[in-house]
Chain A
Amino acid sequence: MMISFVLSRLLSTLVVVLGVICMVFLLIHFIPGDPVDMMLGESAQAVDREALREALGLNRPLGAQLWQYIVGLFQGNLGMSLHHRIPVSDLLAERLPATIELAVAGLLVSVLIAFPLGIVAALKKGQAMDKVSMAVSMIGVSIPNFLFGPVLILFFSIWAGWFPVSGRDGWSSLVLPAMTLGTALAAVLSRMIRSTLLDVLQEDYIRTARAKGCSRVQVVLHHALRNAMLPIITLLGLQLGVLLGGAVITETVFSWPGIGKLMIDSINSRDYPVVQACVLLISLSYVFVNMLTDLAYAWLDPRIRLGDRS
């Protein structure tokens, strides 16, 4: 049963991956006018234009271009950067550690904020603490990254002088970007933790645990939270996408040298092969993480993987 579940999940992931590749490939055809003119500018020599057209395969039929693109991808060939004049894959490899570092730190911040906030809100449902923490999370949802980032810079870098304004130089420079990215996620996550915990706390086994004399704290930590973890982990996987998407803006705010900043810089320098590669990398890692979450969920919860039996 588990094997057939894994296979069907892998198959649907494969379809999505191919679809994403096709869409990213088609992006370059959204350029108004001639892509080569856009990339090289009006003053380019005819020889250079033809060379680029040949290199990008734009003189071939669409189907052949797509095939060439997919074959190239499987060989690890993402093309050449027009601006940096090195292979795109080298550029990505150089920038990837910074983005992973930021994403992990952001995730950590969000977990550290969301769990206490969500648990307290669920335990004190309807009381002042609940209202305060849900108001905090509502405000958190409503502040976009590109506003929260500059506000943090204003308070903690410019006025207090605790952290650097931008760049990536040691631990202190990671604090503000991670806070920016993490609080946005924490706002959504704490609401989810609250509602899942409230659902779980209604279950019979919670009442049983209370009846046999477990303390409230014990029940929440040992009985309720463990059972609430499954939906929370799924949401965490889905929200990772928000994290990755938000990273593009957060990295730009803080000049953090990751994939997102590379993407925006490449848009500005019309280095479209790099833009395509960044979009592809971010979305494929999102697809991959979601697949892993689904598989982990099925592995942990037999009701999912055995569900089609009933």
Chain B
Amino acid sequence: MMRRGVSVWLVLLWLLTAVVSQFVMLDITHMDLDKILQGPDINNWFGYDDLGRSVLNRLLDGTWTSCIVAITVISISLVTGTLIGTASAYAGGFIDLVVVRIIDIFLAFPGILLAIALAGIMGAGVENVIIALSIVGWVGFARLARAQTLSVKHREHIVAARSLGTGHLKIIVRHIIPMLTTPLLIEATFGIASVIIAEAGLSFLGLGVQAPDASWGSMIRDGTRYMLVAPHLVLIPGAALMIVILSINLLGDRLRDHLDIRSQLRKQGE
């Protein structure tokens, strides 16, 4: 199994690659017609695709796509989900009942089904992928924030703040949300991995990033047509995708073990 420290470095490498790829002016559309479908060799470790474009350059550009989509979607989902979930649990009563029902309805669409339908209907493109995944993404955070708020809202410091006449908004922002950061942070880490998978999945289905821009998912889709002669077109973006997702999941596990006081106690007990 991958040493856990490695995962942090791989995630940092992913972020760094994404940022750097935007500054080095990658030529992702240049075609070398005599290098079409050429496999990896000593001069170009990643080979060329069906149009003679450098797989390395497209891979780097795809890194940026996955990164920008993941960070945008998670930021939007985290903020809206947390606010809705916290406010709903804090308000309680009828409002909470309605919010819970709405969450249930969103959860009735399994996996990325709703995102596929939304992206398919709104039309392809990065913006629509971000919108579709955010519409689906807030639910998980809202559910978590709601459950956590319910468990802390009767704590003494909140009751004290309320009896001192502190406003509701201030109580939510200053006294409740800080208590939710640990679980939300862990959820967000795993969320990044699932958004990367979802973006690549939508692009694989042809609903995401459009040519000539690159995404790991669309690279895999284009590669499947040439698997007999050029398996590297599937294997290289596939390996990149898998390594990044594995690293983020391991990082999430590590964060959970590190931040979750209960699992630390359990470990000490053993």
Q: Point out residues on A near B: beta carbons under 8 Å.
A: 12, 15-16, 19-20, 23, 27-28, 30-32, 131, 134-135, 138-139, 141-147, 150-151, 153-154, 158, 240-246, 248-249, 252-253, 263-264, 267-268, 272, 275-276, 279, 282-284, 286-287
Interface check B220, CB cutoff 8 A: yes
Q: Are A138's CB and B250's CB within 8 A?
A: yes
Q: Are B110's CB and A263's CB within 8 A?
A: no
Interface check B73, CB cutoff 8 A: no
Q: List the A side residues contacting B101 at CB < 8 Å.
A: 15-16, 19
Contact of A31 among B102, B105, B121, B197 (CB under 8 A): B121
Q: Are A131's CB and B120's CB within 8 A?
A: no
Q: Are B116's CB and A263's CB within 8 A?
A: yes
How far, in whole Å, are A117 and B7 apart by their CA atoms in the complex? 24
How far, in whole Å, are A83 and B23 apart by their CA atoms in the complex? 45
Q: Are A279's CB and B246's CB within 8 A?
A: no
Q: Are A158's CB and B120's CB within 8 A?
A: no
Interface SS of chain A: helix, strand, loop or mixed?
A: helix
Q: Are B238's CB and A279's CB within 8 A?
A: no
* Per-position 1/0 for B176-206, Cβ under 8 A of A: 0000000000000000010001001100111
Q: List the A side residues contacting B204 at CB < 8 Å.
A: 146, 249, 252
Name which residue of chain A comes closest to B241, CB basis. A147
CB proximity to A under 8 Å, residues B126-178: none
Q: List the B side residues contacting A286 at CB < 8 Å.
A: 108-110
Name which residue of chain A comes closest to B117, CB basis. A279
Q: List the A side residues contacting B235 at CB < 8 Å.
A: 151, 154
Interface check B8, CB cutoff 8 A: no
Interface check B80, CB cutoff 8 A: no
Contact of B113 among A138, A245, A252, A287 (CB under 8 A): A245
Return 22 A-B CB contacts under 8 Å, by A number: A16-B104, A16-B105, A16-B108, A19-B105, A20-B108, A23-B105, A23-B114, A131-B1, A146-B220, A147-B220, A147-B241, A150-B227, A150-B238, A153-B227, A154-B227, A244-B110, A246-B111, A252-B205, A263-B116, A267-B117, A267-B207, A286-B108
Interface check B231, CB cutoff 8 A: yes
User: How many whole Å from A100's CB to the nearest CB in chain B?
Assistant: 15
| CB within 8 Å: A-B pair count | 141
Name which residue of chain A comes closest to B116, CB basis. A248
* Number of interface residues, chain B, beta carbon within 8 A: 44
Q: Are B246's CB and A158's CB within 8 A?
A: no
Q: Are B123's CB and A32's CB within 8 A?
A: yes
Q: List the B side residues contacting A135 at CB < 8 Å.
A: 1
Q: Are A146's CB and B217's CB within 8 A?
A: yes
User: How many whole Å from B191's CB to the nearest CB in chain A?
Assistant: 14
Q: Are B200's CB and A242's CB within 8 A?
A: no
User: How many whole Å from A188's CB to the nearest CB in chain B?
Assistant: 12
User: How many whole Å from A58's CB to the nearest CB in chain B?
Assistant: 14
Q: Can you add 19 more A-B contacts, CB < 8 Å, to A142-B246, A264-B205, A283-B108?
A: A15-B101, A15-B105, A19-B108, A30-B121, A134-B1, A138-B250, A139-B242, A142-B249, A143-B242, A143-B245, A144-B197, A146-B221, A150-B223, A158-B228, A158-B231, A245-B113, A248-B112, A249-B201, A283-B109
Contact of A19 among B102, B217, B224 (CB under 8 A): B102
Name which residue of chain A comes closest to B217, CB basis. A146
A31-B122, A138-B249 as given contacts; A154 in contact with B108, CB under 8 Å: no
Q: Point out residues on B near A: beta carbons under 8 Å.
A: 1, 101-102, 104-105, 108-114, 116-118, 120-123, 193, 197, 200-201, 204-207, 217, 220-221, 223-224, 227-228, 231, 234-235, 238, 241-242, 245-246, 249-250
Q: Are A283's CB and B201's CB within 8 A?
A: no
Q: List the B side residues contacting A264 at CB < 8 Å.
A: 116, 120, 205
Q: List the B side residues contacting A27 at CB < 8 Å.
A: 117-118, 121
User: How many whole Å from A166's CB to the nearest CB in chain B?
Assistant: 10
Name which residue of chain A comes closest to B216, CB basis. A147
How far, in whole Å, are A154 and B236 apart by their CA atoms in the complex? 13
Name which residue of chain B comes closest to A243, CB basis. B110
Q: Are A248's CB and B121's CB within 8 A?
A: no
A19-B101, A19-B102, A146-B204 as given contacts; A275 in contact with B117, CB under 8 Å: yes
User: How many whole Å from B149's CB to the nearest CB in chain A?
Assistant: 22
Q: Are B118's CB and A30's CB within 8 A?
A: yes
Q: Give the 4 A-B residue pairs with the shortest CB-CB distance, closest first.
A: A245-B111, A241-B110, A19-B105, A267-B120
Contact of A141 among B110, B241, B249 (CB under 8 A): B249
Name which residue of chain B comes closest to A264, CB basis. B205
A147-B241, A252-B205, A283-B109 as given contacts; A154 in contact with B231, CB under 8 Å: yes
Q: List the A side residues contacting B105 at CB < 8 Å.
A: 15-16, 19-20, 23
How far, in whole Å, are A242 and B249 apart by their CA atoms in the complex? 18
User: How many whole Å from A201's CB to the nearest CB in chain B?
Assistant: 14
Q: Are A279's CB and B234's CB within 8 A?
A: no
How far, in whole Å, are A244 and B235 apart by their CA atoms in the complex? 26
How far, in whole Å, are A275 and B227 apart by their CA atoms in the complex? 30
How far, in whole Å, are A141 and B104 apart by their CA atoms in the complex? 25
Q: List the B side residues contacting A153 at CB < 8 Å.
A: 224, 227
A142-B249, A144-B241 as given contacts; A150 in contact with B113, CB under 8 Å: no
Q: Are B250's CB and A20's CB within 8 A?
A: no
Q: List the A side residues contacting B109 at CB < 8 Å.
A: 20, 23, 279, 283, 286
